[in-house]
Amino acid sequence: MSEVVAGRYVLIDRIGAGGAGEVWRAFDRRTRGYCAAKVIRHPEAATLVRAVFEQGVRLDHPHVVTPYAWAADDEQVLLAMPLVRGGSLAVLLRDHGSLPPRYGAEILRQLLVALHHVHTAGLVHRDVKPANVLLEPTGTGAPHARLADFGLVLTPDRPRVTGTFMVVGTRAYMAPESLKRGDQGVAQDLYAAGLVGTEMIGSTAGPLSSLLTTLTASDPAYRPRSAGQALQHLDDLLTGWPLQTPAMIPDADEPVEVFEQIGPLPSGWGPTGPASPAAETETVTLAGVGAGDSGAVGGSDGGVDSASATTVRVVTRSEPIGRPDITSAEFRVPSIPPGLAADGLQPSTATTAAGPLDHVRSLPVPTAAASPTPANSQRRWLLAAALAAALAAVSAIGAIVLVLR
């Protein structure tokens, strides 16, 4: 049975690993689609992930990959991101070696576009390298690059957190001032982008040589002042140099090809989710409920603290998840009877956050003790009145007897 994180992310198979943690192909029960789930272990995970996510949501862009949701407990963070299936630029360079100049120039252009967006948002990446440039599977067509690994991005005036899973950067792509003084600002990102461009194009840079030389200048004062300025320089160089597809390498036997790098889904999983019956019992949290006693969950619509985790439902699945004839709207938490509202319990209208559910077994709701009916109350009052009258009569007779004596 696959591991489920926060009742939402089903970890299917591991597709990558590194110093910052593991990357899994996962199924998101809320979006009903596949995602890349980066699992990071750190003693202050819940605190750290809030800062990472708040900054990541500011970077929505076609050439940037950032988390769209997160889950965390005391020592583990899960960042959910779009699944980019074409592998990394590092894999492409390993398979093809140096790229055709125009093809490499297009990837460099998209990288500079991404950095311009990042810097405009007031952030710096600080770890630009081929392994963090992901590619969509475009075959022999034009490349589509996306800058990734924004779990490490921070504001320029805030030093990067270091620890067992976070690094200051990759030494081979660090600028001289970063190595000497620890300076890691916009100039560091531009220097690393220049090294990536040089690695892609190599000695065949041709008209791109001038830009690559300025980007990798040892003195940051000689580099472009911004990614936007470097991008303008590159666009000027590419004027009149159309991007040819699919034959990017003239007179070559094989053109550059970016194909799907992620393997087929394991048995039981199909293009739209679980394909085989599953029998599992789990605790599913609703909107406004944390992942556990010490955990939290969140998404692009905001985070939820575990302090608000007050409602839990037990869900049993014995058929394939996602039956088309059942919608999540059919399943609601039973309302609390009005008689219990005085005890601080309020009716709930929350629906499940995990998508369609097949069989729901709600925990029994306590009912208030039965109160006396009106008829019973009336009879009790009549008996009490009769008894009082009898006592009064006895007292009166006793008083008369005393007087006559």
Give the rounded distance of the alpha carbon of 21 from its chain centre.
15
Task: Give me the number of domains the chain comprises.
Answer: 3
Residue 387 lies in a domain: no
pLDDT at 241: 86
Structural domain includes residue 375: no
| Residues 154 and 54: beta-carbon distance below 8 Å | no
The owner of tokens 């919608």 is 327
Residue 366 lies in a domain: no
Question: Backbone phi, then psi, for 304, in 5-degree steps?
Answer: -130, 130
> What are the tens digits of pLDDT across the range 326-362?
333 333 333 333 433 333 333 333 333 443 333 333 3
Q: Is residue 126 in some structural domain? A: yes
**Residue 4 carries which DSSP code?**
E
Position 389 in a domain: no
The confidence score (pLDDT) of residue 60 equals 86
The confidence score (pLDDT) of residue 240 equals: 85
Check whether the bond before 246 is cis (ω within 30° of 0). Answer: yes
* CATH number where 64 lies: 3.30.200.20
Residues 173, 291 within the same domain: no
What is the CATH classification number for the domain harbouring 182?
1.10.510.10
> Peptide bond preceding 250: is omega within 30 degrees of 0, i.e. cis?
no
Alpha carbons 178 and 376: distance in angstroms, whole number:
87
Indicate the residue type of 111: L
Same domain, 63 and 174: no
- Shared domain check, 63 and 36: yes
115 CB contacts (<8 Å, ≥6 apart)? Answer: 125, 128, 147, 189, 190, 193, 227
Q: Looking at the structure, do residues 208 and 132 belong to the same domain, yes or no?
A: yes
Whether residue 101 sits in one domain with residue 37: no
Q: Do the beta carbons of residue 143 and residue 110 sit within 8 Å?
A: yes
Residue 79 shares a structural domain with residue 93: no
DSSP class of 301: T
Count other Cβ atoms within 10 Å, centred on residue 164. Answer: 10
Q: Are residues 133 and 147 in the same domain?
A: yes
Predicted local confidence at residue 369, as pLDDT: 46
CA–CA gap between residue 398 and residue 404 (Å, rounded): 10
Residue (of 180, 118, 193) closest to 152 by Cα position = 118
Q: Establish if 399 belongs to a structural domain.
A: no
* pLDDT for position 287: 30
Q: Are residues 103 and 223 in the same domain?
A: yes
- Domain edge (last residue) among 26, 54, 83: 83
Side chain identity at 295, as an amino acid letter? G
Let me know if 127 is a catalytic residue: yes
pLDDT at 36: 96
Is 112 inside a domain boundary?
yes
Q: Are residues 204 and 150 in the same domain?
A: yes
380 in a domain, yes or no? no
- Please give the DSSP secondary-structure letter assigned to residue 254: S
Q: Give me the sheet containing 280-285, strands edge to edge.
A: 280-285, 312-317, 359-361
167 close to 173: Cβ distance less than 8 angstroms = no
- Could you tell me the two tokens for 247? 């034959």
| pLDDT beneath 70, residues of the chain | 1, 19-20, 43-57, 73-74, 150-168, 245-253, 276-386, 388, 390-405
| 146, β-bridge pairs | 134
> Residues 74, 98: one domain?
no
Full domain range(s) for residue 44: 3-83
* Same structural domain, 94 and 9: no
Of 28, 127, 149, 189, which one is the catalytic site residue?
Answer: 127
**At 55, phi and psi to the nearest 5?**
-80, -35
